[in-house]
Chains A and B, each alone.
Chain A
């Protein structure tokens, strides 16, 4: 068993697809009807096995996600995304686990760019 899909609720599907593909560099897959009411659009990056599914938030459920994206160079990705117009909450921060930078989409979901660092290595 493994995690394959996580869901992100968005208010405007077209706008969200554009945010994910044009700014974050994700690729959209074909629509999947996971249940009777909602179509979901799986998005993935770098041909990963995990997808985030964009789901239109018709019922104003207010459900918010916080997705942690792994990077091997946080400063580079932070800089590139900022250049693409992504609005970061603050400068990258140093944590016990590594370096991270956080940004939001237009629907209140949060994304963390995380470069995990092994502080025991030389």
Chain B
């Protein structure tokens, strides 16, 4: 369903279902971009990023980007843009104890928020909250306080994802200097974004290292430290996860799904799938259609 709502506090929600669309925009506020079905491609400078239903993209205020949907089936695109004052209030409420909140009650000047502009995995809680919010919006909900309750919780969900994906992973890197840890993680995220975007293509380690501005050895060592997986294992997990989405939401034959998610051989796909989820792809499809 298509709508573009601006709430009284200037938070904005946008929903659109299209098979083809091209946009060239600059973000007015920090926003989350979701592709609830299918995928949407973004280009920011030289970076190309693609989001799928298992992930979302965070864009900071003032980011210049183009986005493209070009698909056989319609793609449900959904975005939430947060007003700066709402973000600031949330940040205070989330980080300060209640007693301190009262001391800061009069403080209203806007601060600039700069989050890591990368693809994040869509956590289950965020997905549940988003599903409820979208259902209410599709039904024409008028209660803005309730909408803002969901937006507040999507930020709680995001902060938790941020802690897992950025803060905790930076801590795992074995560099004494904090600035080095942050910089290395930023580059590892470039590698992760590259895999999220090109998961169904053949990706060589050299290519991945080049996109992360790291040497192959450095990438292998630091990626494993941060993600507890080698880039190859990460890619296999991602392909299996995306095969689950296709098994559940489409009727493509399994042999076709094998190729769509980048595996070459159906038998190794079935073996890897069964090892990971303790069920065969066929049985998984049957169980999810019940």
Contact = CB atoms under 8 A, between A and B. Distances in A.
Interface of A: 73, 75-76, 78-80, 83, 92, 94, 99, 115, 117, 119, 121-122
B146 A119 contact: no
Contacts of A99: 125, 128
23 contacts: A75-B132, A75-B146, A75-B149, A75-B153, A76-B136, A78-B149, A79-B143, A80-B146, A83-B145, A92-B153, A94-B125, A94-B156, A94-B160, A99-B125, A99-B128, A115-B128, A117-B124, A119-B124, A121-B124, A122-B53, A122-B244, A122-B245, A122-B248
B245 to A, nearest CB: 6
Contacts of A119: 124
Interface string B212-240: 00000000000000000000000000000
Instruction: Label chain A's interface by main secondary structure.
Output: mixed
Interface of B: 53-54, 124-125, 128-129, 132, 136, 143, 145-146, 149-150, 153, 156, 160, 244-245, 248
Contact of A79 (B129, B145, B244): B145
A79 B149 contact: yes
A64 B128 CA distance: 33
Contacts of A83: 145
A49 B122 CA distance: 37
Contacts of B160: 94
Contacts of B146: 75-76, 79-80
Contacts of A121: 124
Contacts of B150: 75
Nearest to A120: B124
A75 B54 contact: no
